[in-house]
Amino acid sequence: MAVIIALLISPVGLAFWLALGLTILFAVRRTGRERHQYLRAIHPKHIEIARFFWVGILIGIVVSAISVLARLQVSLAALLAISGLTVIALIVSAWSFSPWWLGLASLAAFIRSDYSDTDGMLAANLALLIGLLWLAQAVLAWLNHGDQLESPVILTDRRQRKSAAFRLRQFYWVPLLVPVVPTQVDELPVLTVIIQAFAIVGLPLVLGASFTSQYDRAKMHWQRSWPWFAGAGGALVAYGVAARLLFLPAVASAIVPACISVILGSGLLWQGHKVYLTVTRTDRGVVLIGVVPDTPAAQMNLQPGDRVLSCNHIAVNSASELYNAIQKEPTYCRLRLQQADGELRLAETAIFAGAPHELGMILFPEETA
């Protein structure tokens, strides 16, 4: 506990406080906007705040254990560069956040004009550390199957046609303990623990994502990012191991992570502009733009983009028609759906007794049921 407290009050702890403040701010704004537009919040309990802590701490324990046991010493300049880049990324996270920029921290090696074998080993270790963090981000995206924090946002074009974009803002605080050369941290105000021939410095890092997808669900958009992070992380880990074994020069070990970082960022940007799915309001059927967890709609595996064509064998084209159709069978619901890919399917489930309107379907604002 003392280690965590010291980590948070150190100068590099700014990243933690900024990320926590933004997580709370985004969560409160999300629920407020959803209640205003859709008359209810999709995730009313601000679950992104709990995930901010426990998911990231697990990642921090694993990565820190690998770094300490393998003695992956890195330069203090690189750690401060990572912290600075994290703060900058958080400042612009209202628009977008993704840790593709971690590899740019390797350029801190160019602060020095002379390089030694030690500098080459430090740069190789930094490449390994960044690769591990990218692999952790890939795991987070790959496991993104359960409750999603995506929040529908209504867009209106010049022809007054309404469509739904999907927003996701989830940060994970990753408290890292990273070995550094003891002489680099003498009399510096950072959390330091001296162990034999190296020191351990605390570094609060932030992983996660913040973006708005206009062409696809946030869940699918983030899931598609995992191969990019896995490929970049795997390549950087492989390079770091080779650089350690072959004693590659520090210049190469500084340039390679930065180049891979730029490629990763470009790939993610290209992926974000690919058109997969557009959820648009039409006059045929009732279009879903969100599903509340633990409701009959979730039990029927309804998804944003699904179009309800009929309810209880009655054709529906508006929220009022859908509600009236539900009243025909107040304890049971049978839907005929057209999925976003065009396939037709049937879905049925029992609904809450005495509350037939609580199906858990989020519709366009004028069609909230």
The residue ranges of every structural domain in the chain are: 1-273, 282-363
Residue with more model confidence, 115 or 352: 352
115 confidence band (pLDDT: 50, 70, 90): very low
21 confidence band (pLDDT: 50, 70, 90): very high
Whether residue 347 contacts residue 337, with contact meaning beta carbons closer than 8 Å, is answered with yes
| This prediction's pTM | 0.87
Residue with more model confidence, 40 or 198: 40
Dihedrals phi, psi of 291, to nearest 5 degrees: -135, 125
With 90 as the cut, is the pLDDT of residue 134 above it?
Answer: yes
Q: Which of 94, 72, 75 is nearest to 83 (CA)?
A: 75
Tokens of 255: 């340039």
Mean pLDDT of 227-235: 96
Mean pLDDT of 148-168: 84
Tokens of 84: 């600075």
Residue with more model confidence, 163 or 283: 163
With 60 as the cut, is the pLDDT of residue 8 above it?
Answer: no
With 70 as the cut, is the pLDDT of residue 314 above it?
Answer: yes
Mean pLDDT of 325-338: 83
The whole-number pLDDT of residue 293 equals: 85
Whether residue 127 contacts residue 247, with contact meaning beta carbons closer than 8 Å, is answered with no
Kindly write down the DSSP assignment for every residue of 62-110, as one continuous string.
HHHHHHHHTT--B-HHHHHHHHHHHHHHHHTTTT-B-GGGGGGGGGGGG
* Separation between Cα atoms, residue 313 and residue 315, nearest integer Å: 7
CA atoms in the 13 A half-sphere facing the CB of 166: 27
pLDDT digits (tens, 9 = 90+) for 200-219: 777 888 999 999 988 888 88
CATH assignment, 282-363: 2.30.42.10
The whole-number pLDDT of residue 6 equals: 46
The whole-number pLDDT of residue 114 equals: 46
Chain CA centroid to CA 360, Å:
24
Residue with more model confidence, 53 or 149: 53
Mean residue pLDDT of the chain comes to 83
With 60 as the cut, is the pLDDT of residue 196 above it?
Answer: no
